[in-house]
Amino acid sequence: MTATITENLAPVAVSERIGAMDVLRGFALLGILLMNLEGFVGPVMASASGIDPALTGADRVADLLIYVLVQGKFYTLFSLLFGMGFAVMSQRAEQAGRPFAGVYWRRGLVLLAIGLVHAIFIWAGDILVMYALCSFLLLAFRPLPPRWYPWFGLGAYVMPIGFMFLMGAMGSLLGGTEGWDKAMGEIGAQMQALIESERTAYGSGSYGEATWQRFKSTGMALSNITMFGFIAFGLFLLGAWFVRSGAIARPREFGRLYGLLRWVALPAGLLAMLGSVALSPTMDPTTFNLRVSTAFALQLTANLLMCLGYLAWILKALETPAGAKALSVLAPAGRMALTNYLMQSLVCTWIFYGYGLGYFEQLPRAWQPLFALALFSAQVLLSHAWLSRFRFGPMEWAWRSLTYASPQPMRLRSR
pLDDT at 275 over 80: yes
pLDDT at 412: 86
Q: What is the largest CA-CA distance in the chain?
A: 71
User: Residue 260 to residues 244, 249, 302, 309: CA-CA distances in angstroms?
Assistant: 20, 18, 15, 9
Using CA atoms, how far apart are residues 102 and 6, in angstroms rounded to an integer? 10
- What pLDDT is attached to residue 17? 62
Mean pLDDT, range 193-219, rounded to an integer: 95
- Is the model more confident about 375 or about 94? 375
Residue 191 has pLDDT above 90, yes or no: no
Question: What percent of the chain stands above pLDDT 70?
Answer: 95
Q: Which of 87-101, 255-269, 344-358 has the lowest mean pLDDT?
A: 87-101
411 three-class SS: strand
d(CA 210, CA 190): 19
The answer on pLDDT for 88 being more than 70 is yes
Give yes or no for residue 41 having a pLDDT over 90: yes
Lowest mean pLDDT among 148-152, 343-347, 376-380, 401-405: 401-405
pLDDT higher than 90, residue 34: yes
Instruction: Give the pLDDT of residue 4.
Output: 35
Average pLDDT over residues 85-92: 91
Q: Write out the H or E segment, with its range, that includes residue 346.
A: helix 337-352
Name the CA radius of gyration of the chain, rounded.
21
Q: What is the mean pLDDT of residues 321-336?
A: 96
pLDDT of residue 126: 96
Across the chain, mean pLDDT equals 92
Q: 387 and 332 in contact (C-beta within 8 Å)?
A: yes
> 50: helix, coil or strand?
strand
pLDDT over 90 (residue 175): no
pLDDT band at 18 (very low <50, low <70, confident <90, very high): confident
User: Is 6's pLDDT higher than 60?
Assistant: no
Read off the pLDDT of residues 235-271 as tens digits, 9 standing for 90 and up.
999 999 999 999 999 999 999 999 999 999 999 999 9
Distance between CA atoms of 404 and 396, rounded to whole angstroms? 12
Flag the least confident range among 54-68, 180-194, 338-352.
180-194
Query: Which of the residue ranges 53-67, 287-301, 398-412 has the most confident prediction, judged by mean pLDDT?
Result: 53-67
Give me the mean pLDDT over the 166-184 stretch.
84
Indicate whether 331 pLDDT > 70: yes
Residue (of 150, 200, 164) closest to 46 by Cα position: 200
